[in-house]
């Protein structure tokens, strides 16, 4: 079958996105590494199922201020947890494949549509990933805000994290979508800052709510000597302040890393990682994070802790 199975070919012909292609975009295809065709078949099958209204499993991970009472934090990131016939799929590979074949904008809409079902009540705030391909798609911001409006979700409770896999030119549809989201009251964040594209071009278009320091950047800061630590965090603070943003340090996976970043992080910084809170599947019993704080979700029932692969 010329190296492609039926589900992959069908995905490439999915009618909702005219840009869909079965020829992977090289900027995303690299994320797939040397994956076997059978693995791509599973990813394609899950994407087809999801794009046609299938179930979307989400987990939530708490993001906490590096000072103050963590358990009072109302900020969460919603993470996709793809499964096919009960078999977990790697989230990063799933998203990379969606970007490679052009289905990422439709996948983002499906994930947001699922996410808002958990936002209808309460006042907690949620970060949701948004592909650079979505930001480049004409009229995509209007479709996103229409989903929020239909679910009666206040836009100020949502932050879209723009992923780093595609460099964005601050013109045309990119500018139009970002300004539309800003004017609608939706928060915006640069995801994975310090890794690959980082999409710093966003800084020239709109003020940001958050600048999320990639786990690799967080590790680099923590591995530096004390003087360099201070200079690096001061530089990050200056850039974030110029963008109107607060910093979220990702990749905090040990108690030592949390303690060290708290000692040097700029005022108003946040932290995220497995040492702070394990991602929790929505709607299942809650657990305890490795540092002992109770993991809870203020407006859904509860969650179940899960050992998850690295996220997008």
CA distances from 65 to 71, 255, 256, 262, 269 (A): 10, 15, 17, 9, 6
- The packing angle between helices 140-150 and 104-115, to 10°, is 20
At 63-112, the pLDDT tens digits run 999 987 787 899 999 999 999 888 899 998 898 899 889 999 999 999 99
What are the sequence ranges of the domains in the chain? 6-305
Q: Count Cα atoms within 13 angstroms, Cβ side, for 261.
A: 32
At 255-306, the pLDDT tens digits run 999 999 999 999 999 999 999 999 988 865 444 343 334 433 333 332 333 3
Q: How high is the pLDDT of residue 164? A: 60
Architecture of the domain whose range is 6-305: Alpha-Beta Barrel (3.20)
At 16-66, the pLDDT tens digits run 443 333 334 434 444 555 555 558 888 999 999 999 988 889 999 999 999
At 227-247, the pLDDT tens digits run 999 899 999 999 899 889 999
Q: What is the dihedral of CA 86, 89, 91, 97, to 10 degrees?
A: -130
If one counts every other C-beta atom within 10 angstroms of the C-beta of residue 87, the result is 9
pTM: 0.81
Q: How high is the pLDDT of residue 219? A: 93
Q: How high is the pLDDT of residue 11? A: 52
Q: What secondary structure, in 3-state letters, does the chain show?
A: CCCCCHHHHHHHCCCCCCCCCCCCCHHHHHHHCCCCHHHHHHHHHHHHHHHCCCCCCEEEEEEEECCCCHHHCCEEEEEECCEECCEECCHHHHHHHHHHHCCHHHHHHHHHHHHHHHCCCCCCEEEEEECHHHHHCCCHHHHHHHHHHHCCCCHHHEEEEECCCCCCCCCHHHHHHHHHHHHHCCEEEEEEECCCCCCHHHHHCCCCCEEEECHHHHHHHHHCCHHHHHHHHHHHHHHHHHCCCEEEECCCCCHHHHHHHHHHCCCCCEECCCCCCCCEEECCCCCECCCCCECCCCCCCCEEECCCCCCC
């Amino acid at each position: 079958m010329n190296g492609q199975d039926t589900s992959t070919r069908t995905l490439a012909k999915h009618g909702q996105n005219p840009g869909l292609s079965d020829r992977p975009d090289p900027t995303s295809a690299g994320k797939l590494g040397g994956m076997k065709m059978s693995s791509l078949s599973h990813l394609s099958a899950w994407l087809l199922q999801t794009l046609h209204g299938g179930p979307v499993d989400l987990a939530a991970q708490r993001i906490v201020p590096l000072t103050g009472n963590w358990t009072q934090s109302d900020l969460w990131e919603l993470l996709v947890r793809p499964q096919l016939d009960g078999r977990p799929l790697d989230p990063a590979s799933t998203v990379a494949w969606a970007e490679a074949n052009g289905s990422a904008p439709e996948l983002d809409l499906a994930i947001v549509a699922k996410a808002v079902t958990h936002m209808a009540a309460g006042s907690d705030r949620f970060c949701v990933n948004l592909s650079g391909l979505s930001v480049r798609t004409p009229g995509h911001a209007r479709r996103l805000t229409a989903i929020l409006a239909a679910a009666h979700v206040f836009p100020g409770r949502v932050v879209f994290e723009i992923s780093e896999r595609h460099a964005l030119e601050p013109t045309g549809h990119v500018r139009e979508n970002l300004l539309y989201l800003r004017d609608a009251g939706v928060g915006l964040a640069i995801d994975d800052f310090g890794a690959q594209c980082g999409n710093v071009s966003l800084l020239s278009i709109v003020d940001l709510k958050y600048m999320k320091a990639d786990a690799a950047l967080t590790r680099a800061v923590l591995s530096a000597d004390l003087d360099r630590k201070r200079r690096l965090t001061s530089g990050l603070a200056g850039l974030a302040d110029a963008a109107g943003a607060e910093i979220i340090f990702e990749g905090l996976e040990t108690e030592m890393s949390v303690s060290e970043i708290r000692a040097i992080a700029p005022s108003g910084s946040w932290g995220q990682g497995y040492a702070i809170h394990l991602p929790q599947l929505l709607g299942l019993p809650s657990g305890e994070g490795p540092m002992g704080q109770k993991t809870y979700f203020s407006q859904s029932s509860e969650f179940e802790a899960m050992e998850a692969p690295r996220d997008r």
